Structure 1
Amino acid sequence: MSSQLRQLKAPLVEAENFAPYGQVIYPAPDDKPFDSQDAQLVLNQGQPRFYLMRLLRPGLKFSQITRHTRCTQCLGSLHGKEWFIAVAPPADELQVDGIQAFRVAGDCFIKLELGTWHAGPYFDGEEFIDFYNLELADTNITDHETIDLLQTHNLEFQIIP
């Protein structure tokens, strides 16, 4: 039996439309005091890890979605490159119908709330894009719950820019 393909339109990420999943962080003056517009991080469950990851042209289709429950995660592209992410609200059980896609401009970054389901970063057209990633040193080993949507729901998703 062939899988079902669901298309997700990807509006531009903004603080208001992304609030159920995390925060959008925009540039601010260097002398601005810390406030609620800054990334509200949870990194106290282990050693923080800030690194650059190079992703090779993943395309805009996905069939897996992941969450981290021990830390927040921050993602952003280098060199002002636009990219896409799919998310669903934090919950013990993924609500497949709640998966949304967003276009992330290269002049901001996103912070995912604890437990936010996510797939991405995704992009198309570029050979590769470098991203910065802030999480815990062992996030991908000890805090990485992934659901294979093909196996569990016979679904694939395609992000529509």
Structure 2
Amino acid sequence: MHQPVTIHQLPAQAITPENFRPYGQVIFAAPDGKGFDQEDAQLHLSEGTPRFYIMRLHYRGRSFSRITRHQRCTQCLGALAGQEWLIAVAPPGEAGCPDPVTIAAFRIPGNCFIKLEVGTWHAGPLFEQESVDFYNLELADTNITDHQTCSLSETYGLEFEIV
């Protein structure tokens, strides 16, 4: 028998490199010719074949009850055509599910992309448009061999709505 589900409202904060640091990096445009440094995406893609592709996602809304992580690679996500979107994240950890109090939500403008650290829990991309195209950089088999999902509704009786 499932426990009743409580809807928890999670405020979306504007993303900055500082407030997103526990989960990964925010990458903004840089002048052509700038040398590689710590402001560039620090990627970990050495455990397989990298895959860079455009995925078309259809309406996702602002609610989630599942959160996922990848333990073998970093993941980069960004919306095409300047679309704003949302993501919820929790820091990497050893437990099989993140502590719900550590989940934070961010509003991602269309002029940057994010890099999730290895093991960062994430729900999204989330958005209210009919569809949004995203570029995604991960390993070719990430969604087959490196996709651990926690059901927040089954584990904690929680569903989140980003406001």
Same fold (TM over 0.5): yes
In structure 2, the residue matched to 1:135 is: 138
> For 1:99, which of 92, 100, 103 is the aligned residue?
103
| Aligned structure 1 segments of 4 or more residues deviating by more than 6 angstroms | none
1:155 maps to amino acid: L
Measure, in 2, the Cα distance between the counterparts of 1:98 and 1:2. Answer: 21
In structure 1, the residue matched to 2:15 is: 13
Q: CA deviation at 1:142?
A: 0.5
1:5-154 to structure 2, matched below 5 A, reads 5-93=7-95, 94-124=98-128, 126-154=129-157
Q: CA deviation at 1:114?
A: 0.5
Gaps of 5+ in 1: none
Measure, in 1, the Cα distance between the counterparts of 2:33 and 2:74. Answer: 25
**Count of paired positions:** 159
Output the TM-score relative to the length of structure 1: 0.97
Measure, in 2, the Cα distance between the counterparts of 1:13 and 1:122. Answer: 15
Q: CA deviation at 1:95?
A: 1.5
Output the TM-score relative to the length of structure 2: 0.96
Q: CA deviation at 1:121?
A: 0.2
Q: CA deviation at 1:30?
A: 1.1
CA RMSD of aligned residues (A): 0.7
Gaps of 5+ in 2: none
Measure, in 2, the Cα distance between the counterparts of 1:153 and 1:104. Answer: 27
Q: CA deviation at 1:152?
A: 0.8
Measure, in 1, the Cα distance between the counterparts of 2:77 and 2:29. Answer: 14
1:56 maps to amino acid: H
Q: CA deviation at 1:2?
A: 3.0
Q: CA deviation at 1:91?
A: 0.4
What SS does structure 2 have at the residue aligned with 1:87?
strand
